[in-house]
Amino acid sequence: MKPTDMAKEGTEMTEETEHMIEKNGAKETEHLVSAGDTKEMRAVILSGFGGLNKLRVTKKAMPEPQEGEVKIRVKACGLNFLDLMVRQGNIDNPPKTPLVPGFECSGIVEAMGGNTKGFEIGDRVMAFVNYNAWAEVVCTPLDYVYNMPDDMTFPEAAAFSMNFVAAYMMLFEVANLREGMSVLVHSAGGGVGQAVAQLCSTIPSVTVFGTASSFKHEAIKDSVTHLFDRNADYVQEVKKISPEGVDIVLDCLSGENTGKGLGLLRPLGTYILYGSSNMVTGETKSFFSLAKSWWQVEKVNPIKLYEENKVIAGFSLLNLLFKQGRCGQVKTVVEKLFSLYNQKKIKPVVDSLWALEEVKEAMQRIHDRGNIGKLILDVEKSPTPLMASDSTETSEAGEEEEEHEGDSDNKERMPFIQ
What residues make contact with a copy of itself under the rule CB under 8 A? Answer: 1-2, 4, 92, 169, 173-174, 176, 254, 258, 267-268, 270, 273-276, 294, 297-316, 319-320, 324, 326, 329
CB of residue 173 vs a copy of itself: minimum separation in angstroms?
A: 6
**Which of helix, strand or coil describes residue 189?**
coil
**Which of helix, strand or coil describes residue 212?**
strand
Q: Is the peptide bond before 98 cis (omega within 30 degrees of 0)?
A: yes
CB of residue 242 vs a copy of itself: minimum separation in angstroms?
A: 15
288 burial type by CB count under 10 A (0-12 exposed, 13-18 middle, 19+ buried): exposed
Nearest residue (CB) to a copy of itself, 309 versus 408: 309
CB of residue 297 vs a copy of itself: minimum separation in angstroms?
A: 5
Nearest residue (CB) to a copy of itself, 163 versus 258: 258
Nearest residue (CB) to a copy of itself, 35 versus 268: 268
- The partner residues of 146 in beta bridges, in order of sequence, read 126
Side chain identity, residue 84? L
**Which of helix, strand or coil describes residue 7?**
helix
Nearest residue (CB) to a copy of itself, 3 versus 282: 3
Phi and psi angles of residue 194, each rounded to the nearest 5 degrees, phi first: -70, -35
Q: b or e along 346-369 (b: 16 or more beta carbons within 10 Å of the residue's beta carbon)?
A: bbbbbbbbbbbbbbbbbbbbbbeb
Nearest residue (CB) to a copy of itself, 6 versus 159: 6
Nearest residue (CB) to a copy of itself, 35 versus 313: 313
CB of residue 417 vs a copy of itself: minimum separation in angstroms?
A: 14
Nearest residue (CB) to a copy of itself, 49 versus 271: 271
| Host H or E run for residue 18 | helix 5-24
Nearest residue (CB) to a copy of itself, 137 versus 249: 249
Rounded-to-integer distance, Cα 122 and Cα 240, Å: 54
Rounded-to-integer distance, Cα 331 and Cα 147, Å: 11
CA end-to-end distance (rounded Å), the chain: 19
Rounded-to-integer distance, Cα 74 and Cα 379, Å: 7
CB of residue 265 vs a copy of itself: minimum separation in angstroms?
A: 11
Nearest residue (CB) to a copy of itself, 86 versus 273: 273
Phi and psi angles of residue 400, each rounded to the nearest 5 degrees, phi first: -100, 150
Q: Which residues, 6+ apart, have CB-to-CB distance to 144 below 8 Å?
A: 127, 128, 129, 321, 327
CB of residue 220 vs a copy of itself: minimum separation in angstroms?
A: 26
The interaxial angle of helices 327-342 and 154-168, nearest 10 deg, is: 120
CB of residue 302 vs a copy of itself: minimum separation in angstroms?
A: 5
- The partner residues of 125 in beta bridges, in order of sequence, read 107, 147
